[in-house]
Structure 1
Amino acid sequence: MFYESAAVREVEREMSAFLDGSQMKRLHECLSRVMGIKDLESPDNKALLQDFLNAKTVEGCSPRTIQYYSITLGHFIGFLNAPLHAVGTAEVRNYLASRGESGTVSNVTLDNIRRIISSFFSWLEEEEVIYKSPVRRIKKIRSVMAVKPVISDEEMEVIRDSCENLRDRAVIDLLASTGMRVGELVRLKREDIDFEKRECVVHGKGNKQRRVYFDAKAKIHLQNYLKLRSDQDPSLFVSLKAPFRPLNISGVESRLREIGREAAGLRLHPHKFRRTMATRAIDKGMPIEQVQVLLGHSKIDTTLCYAMVDQQNVKRSHSKYIG
């Protein structure tokens, strides 16, 4: 905290339930003046942002997530004309409104921005930089949930036929059968694969480990691919040419886009395999809690958002149970 007096801190702590950030600032200035207490220097907004990013790094957030937080919160801080401890709900709403009115972001993206700002202020509250997050009273931003397409059985065969090498076919079959994230895929080592049990351990978000399972096609293509490897790199997937460096996320994304274009102009990206696997699993009757475990989601609501049940099956079920 920024205050030297325990009495001032206690008064402000009790009043924080009734006042917003700007009102708390005025209360603090009044108490400090009346009681003759000198303020300690307030931390710089950018310094607090860096502290937050450092904390998230220690918690195990990926470099991509840290970069997204940095860009999003850096833009927010640049919009402010006040130190963070003096920011109220109105200032946050004004910022979100300006982003929405700009027409450059969707409501889904805008709500992601809201969640990141909320996470930042919650951390400031936990660190006792502020007494109360100004984002508490800002509700979730609603958006229309569009049914995102999944990969059909026919498209999957075309995609496999478009693969020019065993590595790409193994990558596709592993993504399709496990539903793992692309970041988890590129971190896999040869030793992580258990061919006998057709399973592997992946390292998910927050360095959480979970077990995923692959089908017979993925097993055969993986084994054939590894037999052709002449390098000694422990990574499961590497570049096709020397010096055989481990694949990275952008490399996988780029290659899938190329395969998609060759496969009758499909828009293909790693996440589409994940969504397809989740949809198929739920559609065939797998309990949602088990799908949640396979995907590594901490909240079941996230799993429901990923998996959209096939509408034709809903129609058939309606005829069976109701019609």
Structure 2
Amino acid sequence: MTDTTIEIILQRMSAILDCWQLKALRKELELVTESQPQSPFRNEQLLASFITAKQVEGCSEKTLAYYRDTLARMTSTLDKSYSRINSNDLRQYLNDYEAQRHASKVTIDNIRRIMSSFFSWLEDEDYIVKSPVRRIKRVKTAVVAKETFTDEQLEAIRTECHSIRNLAVVDMLASTGMRIGELVNLNRSDIDFRERECIVTGKGNKQRPVYFDARTKQSLITYLKTRHDSNPALFTTLSGEPRRATIDAIESQLRSIGESCNAGRVHPHKFRRTLATHAIDKGMPIEQVQKLLGHAKIDTTMRYAMVNQNNVKASHRKYLE
């Protein structure tokens, strides 16, 4: 008798048995199951199949690793067949994880979302009858207003760029709002200088056009004139044999620039958030900002952007007074 069979029996008997009788029945069925050969679908096999399914969907290697590590840790801690894991097991796991690791509510909700995706997949594939995560509500997290760059800070950062490559990187991030992973994967052939646009490949291997301003165009042209190599990458290393620039290297350069010009913590994502905030602040429809940033859901765009409170006040006077 498989674990799935037990769940089906319990579900069918739930209409005529009370909760105590169902628990007693489950215990007896599990005792019978333990004396039989184990199901061929072990936890490791199911987890591997889930990761493969996510890979086919287009998830990045970084995302796949996060899914794999998170679910493997849960599996090891609970030490139970997936079909026997219930809502209380998962609630206790999340509670213990938060307490032992001093994890934030955001982290705990991320783990909950991954577990929800996994157990929903198990349900859809008929490995379990019902996902135990259905009864676990979304973890409420505090809404923290994240910082954006001021115009003065952006100019200070540009001034502090002592290499033309770094200036082109800063201008590209600031004017397009692209992700750092999208930027390092760009090739010279991807740039359309006449239309001031390029095609980037974002999450899920989805492509979208992004647009840059005239200043960025000039920075890119000036930078490329200094290149005498055949490397197809748009941005290469600053020294040695030209190689495609890495995310870590550019992030390190930006941190150093920020420290030198007292512009606070400078990182690629802050340019993206700044662009989204300024776009909405100046009246760009949120749906267009969503397309610009390559977000699948508009809720994600709203979390990136912070509307200027002065504009809210002005709009109240314009439309409501």
**TM-score, normalized by the shorter chain, greater than 0.5:** yes
Task: Tell me how far apart the structure 1 counterparts of residues 271 and 14 of structure 2 sit (CA, whole Å).
Answer: 47
For 1:88, which of 62, 86, 97 is the aligned residue?
A: 86
Q: What is the match of residue 287 of structure 2? A: 289
Looking at structure 2, the residues matched to 169 and 205 of structure 1 have their Cα atoms a distance apart, in angstroms, of 26
Q: Offset of 1:318 from its aligned partner?
A: 3.0
Deviation track 1:38-71 (CA, whole Å, cap 9, x = no partner) reads 6552533233323322322232211211222222
Question: Structure 1, residues 173-194: CA drift from partner, whole Å, max 9, x if none?
Answer: 1111111111111111111110
The residue matched to 1:200 in structure 2 has which SS?
Answer: strand
Q: What is the 5 A alignment of 1:304-315?
A: 304-315=302-313
- The CA deviation at 1:313 is 2.0
Query: Which deviations, in whole Å up to 9, do the C-alpha atoms of 1:55-102 show, x marking residues without a partner?
Result: 222322112112222222222122203111110000001011112233
CA gap 1:217/1:315 in 2 versus in 1, 3 angstroms: same
Residue 222 of structure 1 and its aligned partner are, at CA, apart by 0.7
Q: Partner residue of 1:176?
A: 174
**Is residue 162–residue 263 contact of structure 1 (8 Å, CA) maintained in 2?**
yes
- Equivalent residues in 2 for 1:213-252, closer than 5 Å: 213-252=211-250
TM-score (norm 2): 0.89
In 1: Cα distance, 2:180 partner to 2:18 partner: 45
Q: TM-score, normalised by structure 1?
A: 0.89
Contact map agreement 2:281 2:311 (CA 8 A) in 1? yes
**2: CA distance, partners of 1:25 / 1:169:** 69
Who is 1:147 aligned against? 145
Pick one of 160, 164, 167 that aligns with 1:166: 164
When structure 1 is superposed on structure 2, of 282-291 and 55-64 the one drifting more is: 55-64
Over the matched positions of the two proteins, sequence identity in percent amounts to: 50
Partner of 2:29: 30
Deviation, 1:9, is: 8.6
In 2 relative to 1, CA 25–247 (structure 1 residues): closer, same or farther, beyond 3 Å? farther
SS of 2:134's equivalent?
coil
- 1:156 equivalent in alignment to 2:154: yes
Q: How does 1:63-102 map to 2 (within 5 A)?
A: 63-102=61-100
Query: Residues 24, 270 of structure 1: CA spacing in aligned structure 2 closer, same or farther, 3 A cutoff?
Result: farther
Deviation at 1:103, TM superposition (A): 5.8
Cα offsets for 1:232-256 (capped at 9, x unmatched): 1111111012311101221221111
Contact 1:4/1:39 (8 A) holds in 2 = no
Instruction: Give the root-mean-square deviation of aligned CA atoms.
Output: 2.9
Question: Which range is displaced more, 273-282 or 43-52?
Answer: 43-52
Specify the SS of the correspondent of 1:52. helix
Residue equivalent to 1:115:
113
Q: Which runs of 5+ in 1 are unaligned?
A: none
Gaps of 5+ in 2: none
**Cα distance change, pair 162–133 in 1 and its aligned pair in 2 (3 A):** same
TM-superposed deviation, 1:130: 1.3
How big is the shift at 1:3? Answer: 7.5
Distance change >3 Å, CA 26–CA 250, structure 1 → 2: farther
